[in-house]
Chain A
């Protein structure tokens, strides 16, 4: 009995002394994100650097699953009045977050916490996507844009210049046919994230409107415009190429990547964010080029960013937000920007970081890392600022299932896109009704 009493006393003392003492020292800030694998480790490293750099706050990063799961989880947590301080939300969740009423806009946070950030230093196509009335609502974190990857070995085998990636869709078709004829690969090209690369980016890239209301920026009664002449021409060409073997549809998300990795397809259109992975895994010589263009009469505009931003949630203790603001400032600093870019392949998003990288000959040594930035250099027009559609995830689903019907030959490009527009508009209407101001 006596022994037990002393054990309990020791434990109690430890709890009394140890517990509160530690939690008093640092304020915890919770960050929910969707970065798995290598990317997750990079996030942890970033957080560690912040935590070691100051003594008041402890950021705790937690991987909560895929992008949609993180978004749903954060909304559910907010409804139960226990949200994380910071949540990483992907590009297509922007409209949902903006209208959720659950967020603390980043520009307001930094102003109220009196922490100065030079917003003018951020590159426009990135901030434009996530701004409302000229103010930034969430902190850009991991941004990328779709580019063309090509297999230099296959190009050589087909008698094509390995240093000249096709710049237009016409050239993509011609190069693919030469590659097929020479037996250098089984298919010309494939595309990952079909809706994102072939529609959501291809439309702004040609300065074509994807939807009404300036792609949803100026109102909620938005309607899709992808079944017009341009969309039908582009998707119709892909469907024709699918039949010839020039194009090979490989599924949604990153599923088509292996077709390029194992040499089946000579070209791939995919996010610039896979550069890091390709550097480690590709067994052949490869290069990158900008997203192919249709040429005249279409203007060459800019691509839109994909990826995710960090949103600050309302409903936490007021004192905590000082730490949140400091963490946001920390990740916007050039040093962290450059390190994040070099480690992951995501874009650096401030002019200062880009200049520093140039000064260190980073882009000369790694030309593939400059491709995506080049696509974002033009000043965006209303058609190329970004997309702000409610329930965008569902709309993307509807579009991709109709793309599959088109590529399978079940529907013509016009029929399929008409169906996608009808379904998409239904979803938009529902969102507008549920979010009436």
Chain B
């Protein structure tokens, strides 16, 4: 590890101060406020009532399905596209720019784009599908189709971010190592499995953690634009329920209690990953 040395003792703290202030004001203070609020109105029964409601458990299950779906798809696809984007092909720079684009699209816009493609009433895909098959692509009533749709849409918005990190990781792998392996007779797949993957493990680990957190917290836009939690409660994930109960139902106490529980879930999940999964990661 390299260490930066500052001559002035106070300077590093001063440099960190703006970021620290932002984190305190926009993250810690609201989190604390939520904790305080969660004991109001319906409370202290807010938590009790919440934990007795089957819809809440449904939303937890939905969140896990959603988060693992998005992460698996997003990270897997990201690795695949990044590996392809390191091949020596003409117009490589253009490809690389293009694959990063979806990340620049705001989630609600991505949701609207998916609506125009997949909506049973006015989507392009169900319209074409109607010509070739009798299958009715109706996620307005089929819960698992709706879930698959929001997973794909969310993974798509986030895949550019994953690609960027994998690309950087792939380009950082010294060619000499790969060439040595080739000389020893390792094929493309073998080289990828035995050399590239282990060397990418810190990045993969980081991306899995970030994608999971993002899916739990930041995936509101797509769900809001596409399914609004329906059909039934099939795509109602925890963060959407926080919004729905708080801002539509005006039950801020329960909403705050839910966001506190959501925060706990993510903290525990991240801790587990650092405790157990990280051991398998090689950093150098």
Tell whether B206 is near chain A: CB-to-CB under 8 Å.
Answer: no
Say if the beta carbon of B23 comes within 8 Å of chain A: no
Task: Tell me if A162 is interfacial: C-beta within 8 Å of chain B.
Answer: no
Verify if B62 is at the interface (C-beta below 8 Å from A): no
In the bound complex, do residue A72 and residue B247 qualify as a contact, i.e. CB atoms below 8 Å apart?
yes
- What is the 8 Å Cβ interface bit string for chain A, positions 241-285, against chain B (1 contact, 0 not)? 000000001111001111100101000000000000000000000
Q: What residues on A are CB-neighbors of B191 within 8 Å?
A: none
Residues of A within 8 A of B142 (CB): 408
Please measure, in the bound complex, the distance between the C-alpha atom of A402 and the C-alpha atom of B233, giving whole angstroms.
9
Selected interface stretch from A142-150, A311-319, A389-397? A389-397
Contact flags (1/0) for B145-178 with A, using CB distance below 8 Å? 0000000000000000000000000000000000
Q: Which one of A75, A259, A404 lies within 8 Å of B231 (CB-CB)?
A: A404
**Contacts known (A251-B121, A408-B231); A391 close to B250, Cβ less than 8 A:** yes
| CB closest residue in chain B, given A245 | B136
Residue of A at shortest CB range from B247? A72
**Interface size, B (range):** 20 to 34
Secondary structure type dominating chain B contacts = loop
> Contact: A256 with B251, CB < 8 Å?
no
Known A68-B247, A262-B122: A252·B228 in contact at CB below 8 Å: yes
The 0/1 profile, CB within 8 Å of A marked 1, for residues 218-247 of chain B is 000000000011111100000000001101
Q: A250-B120, A258-B122 are in contact. Are A430 and B141 (CB under 8 A)?
A: no
Give the CA-CA distance A249 to B138 in the complex, in Å. 10
Q: Would you give the shortest CB distance from A251 to chain B, in whole angstroms?
A: 5
Cβ contact within 8 Å between A434 and B42: yes
User: Considering only CB atoms, which chain A residue lies closest to B41 in the complex?
Assistant: A434
Contacts of B251 in A (CB 8 A): 391, 394, 430
Is B89 interfacial (CB 8 A cutoff)?
A: no
Q: Is A26 an interface residue (CB 8 A)?
A: no
Report how far A273 CA is from B37 CA in the complex, Å: 40
CA distance A202 to B120 in the complex (A): 26
What CA separation (Å) do A407 and B142 show in the bound complex? 10
A397 to B119, CA, bound (A): 21
Complex contact B233–A250 (CB within 8 A) = no
User: How many whole Å from B252's CB to the nearest CB in chain A?
Assistant: 10
Q: How far, in whole Å, are A400 and B247 apart by their CA atoms in the complex?
A: 18
* A394 adjacent to B42 (CB under 8 Å): no
In the complex, whether B94 has a CB less than 8 A from a CB of chain A is no
Given A404-B141, A408-B142 in contact, is the A394-B249 Cβ separation under 8 Å? yes
Q: Is A405 an interface residue (CB 8 A)?
A: yes
Residue pair A252, B232 in contact (C-beta under 8 Å): no
Q: Count chain B CB atoms within 10 A of each CB in A69, A71, A255 and give the residue with the most.
A: A255
> In the complex, what's the smallest C-beta–C-beta distance from B46 to chain A, in angstroms?
11
Beyond A391-B250, A393-B248, is A252–B230 a contact (Cβ under 8 Å)?
A: yes
Residue of B nearest to A423 (CB): B55
Tell me whether A69 and B247 are in contact (CB under 8 A).
yes
Contact of B249 with A393 in the complex, beta carbons under 8 Å = yes
In the complex, the answer to whether B231 meets A258 with C-beta atoms within 8 Å is: no
A364 on the interface (CB 8 Å rule)? no
Contacts of B41 in A (CB 8 A): 434
Flag whether B140 is at the interface (Cβ < 8 A): yes
Contact (Cβ within 8 A) B232 A405: yes
Q: Could you tell me the distance in whole angstroms from the C-beta of A228 to the nearest C-beta in chain B?
A: 23
Task: Judge whether B249 and A391 touch: CB under 8 Å.
Answer: yes
Tell yes or no: A96 within 8 A of B by CB: yes
Identify which of A96, A250, A404, A405 contacts B250 (C-beta below 8 A): A96
CB distance from A41 to the nearest CB of B (A): 22
CB neighbours of A75 from chain B (8 A): 250
Identify the closest chain A residue to B254 (Cβ): A430
Q: Cβ of A394: which chain B residues have Cβ within 8 Å of it?
A: 245, 248-249, 251
Question: Any chain B CB within 8 A of the CB of A351?
Answer: no
How far apart are B218's CB and chain A's nearest CB, in angstroms?
20
Contact B232 A397 (CB under 8 A): no
Q: Which residues of A contact B42 (CB under 8 A)?
A: 430, 434
Q: Are A255 and B250 in contact (CB under 8 A)?
A: no
- Measured between beta carbons, the chain B residues less than 8 angstroms from A259 are 121
**A393–B228 alpha-carbon span in the complex (Å):** 14
- State the Cβ distance, A382 to closest chain B Cβ, in Å: 27
Q: Does chain B have a CB within 8 A of A60?
A: no
Contacts of B245 in A (CB 8 A): 394
Establish whether residues B231 and A256, one from each chain, have CB atoms under 8 Å apart when the complex forms. Answer: no
CB closest residue in chain B, given A427: B249
Choose one: B119, B232, B248; the contact of A410 (CB below 8 Å).
B232
Q: Could you list some 27 contacts between A and B, CB below 8 A?
A: A68-B247, A68-B248, A72-B247, A75-B250, A249-B140, A250-B121, A250-B140, A252-B228, A255-B121, A257-B121, A258-B119, A262-B121, A262-B122, A391-B250, A393-B248, A393-B249, A394-B245, A394-B249, A397-B249, A401-B231, A401-B232, A402-B232, A404-B230, A408-B232, A410-B232, A430-B42, A434-B42
**A interface residues with partner B (beta carbon < 8 Å):** 68-69, 71-72, 75, 96, 249-252, 255-259, 262, 264, 391, 393-394, 397, 400-402, 404-405, 407-408, 410, 427, 430, 434
Name B residues whose Cβ lies closer than 8 Å to a Cβ of A. 41-42, 119-122, 140-143, 228-233, 244-245, 247-251
Not counting A252-B230, A255-B119, A258-B119, a sample of 6 additional A-B residue pairs whose C-beta atoms are within 8 angstroms of each other reads A264-B121, A407-B141, A408-B141, A408-B143, A430-B42, A430-B251
